[in-house]
Amino acid sequence: MSDIMNSKAFDEFLQKRCEEITADDEECKKINEQILQIENEIRSLISGNLLKKFDEYGELHLILISHVCPLVYGCGIQEL
């Protein structure tokens, strides 16, 4: 069982499962809409290198969330 939990397929399963869970959660939807609104406001106020840094920050933030959610979900499954 341990080999399965360390496989790329299991990682992909965890990622998809986390996406399914958050996609159906009203609070997640609401917060995400607020984030997108603020992001659009910020984008209209900045340009050039600052906009590039803002995009890099946003991408790193998404990468972190994409890593953390399955990590936590996977740890929860292993505890069962």
Ramachandran area for residue 25 (φ above 0: left; ψ -120 to 50: alpha; else beta): beta
**pLDDT at residue 79, as a whole number:** 65
DSSP code of residue 24: T
The helix/strand/coil state of 3 is helix
Which structural domain, as residue segments, surrounds residue 31? 2-79
Which residues have a Cβ under 8 Å from the Cβ of 23 and sit 6 or more positions away? 29
Q: In tens digits, what is the pLDDT along the chain, a chain of 80 residues?
A: 567 767 888 888 888 888 888 888 999 999 999 999 999 999 999 999 999 999 999 999 999 988 888 888 788 777 65
The helix/strand/coil state of 51 is helix
Tokens representing 9?
Answer: 């397929």
Q: Is the pTM of this model over 0.85?
A: no
Tally of structural domains, the chain: 1
